[in-house]
Structure 1
Amino acid sequence: MTTDPANGTLPLRDRLRADLPRAMKARDRDATKALRSALGAIDNAEAVDASDVQAGAIESSAVGLGTAERARRHLTESDIESIVRTEIAERLTAAKEYESLAGGADRAATLRAEAAALTAHLDS
């Protein structure tokens, strides 16, 4: 883990990863779920676009160790922060929707707790 020279803090992704085991040990289900989801969203955003890969016979496939490997996309700290903010917004929007449903208050509270767990990492 590297620190950001501008402010001496860990990058957001590293803070999220570091907090996941703590949330799990504390049995904080809301934080654990939110952290896993945010880290998954970040990983998915880094995935390579494989739309240019042609489907075909095995005989025409690349052969050898690492021949089919591609570099993942590089995300800036701003990109990662945007992804986490989107995760927060999605939870808060869903919480509003659940509040309008009969019996949805518990789910809305859970979503708000998940959003709060992620928001705490943006403020660090």
Structure 2
Amino acid sequence: MRARDKAAVSALRVTLAALDNAEAVPVDEADAHGPAIEQSPTGAGTTEAPRRELSEHEMATIVRAEADERLEAAAQLTSPAHAPRATRLRTEAEVLLRLLDERDGAP
């Protein structure tokens, strides 16, 4: 990907963040108030939080939701003053949908 393809880079960054957030395991309220700091474990790996592994279907659903979100936002921007932003959102959605098409084997 060319470095100057800002719409693609933006869409991919936000989508990667959405995937990363989806992998997060919900924190139980009881776990949020752990032991006192002096009783906390130390050493390598003690700050690692558990992550869940997304299936390919879950990842595709998230990517499709990100594309749909951009298309909906672009549809809301009807003012001529917002035309450049709407165009950028549509371009970002196209990038994401193209990735899904490539994944599904479409040309």
> Larger % of helix: which?
2
Give the 3-state SS of the residue equivalent to 2:26 in structure 1: coil
For residue 112 of structure 1, what is the aligned residue in structure 2? 90
* CA distance, structure 2, for counterparts of residue 56 and residue 98 of structure 1: 49
- TM-score relative to the length of structure 1: 0.72
CA RMSD after TM alignment: 1.7
For residue 59 of structure 1, what is the aligned residue in structure 2? 38
1:19-34 matches, within 5 Å, as 22-24=1-3, 27-34=4-11
Structure 1: which 5+ residue stretches go unaligned?
A: 1-21
Structure 2: which 5+ residue stretches go unaligned?
A: 103-107
1:31 corresponds to which letter in structure 2?
A
- TM-score relative to the length of structure 2: 0.82
* CA distance, structure 2, for counterparts of residue 49 and residue 38 of structure 1: 20
Name which structure has the greater RCO, CA cutoff 8 Å, separation 6+.
2
Percent identity, please.
46
1:45-103 Cα deviation digits (max 9, x unpaired): 1122233332553113222322343431110000000000110011001001112x341
For residue 55 of structure 2, what is the aligned residue in structure 1? 76
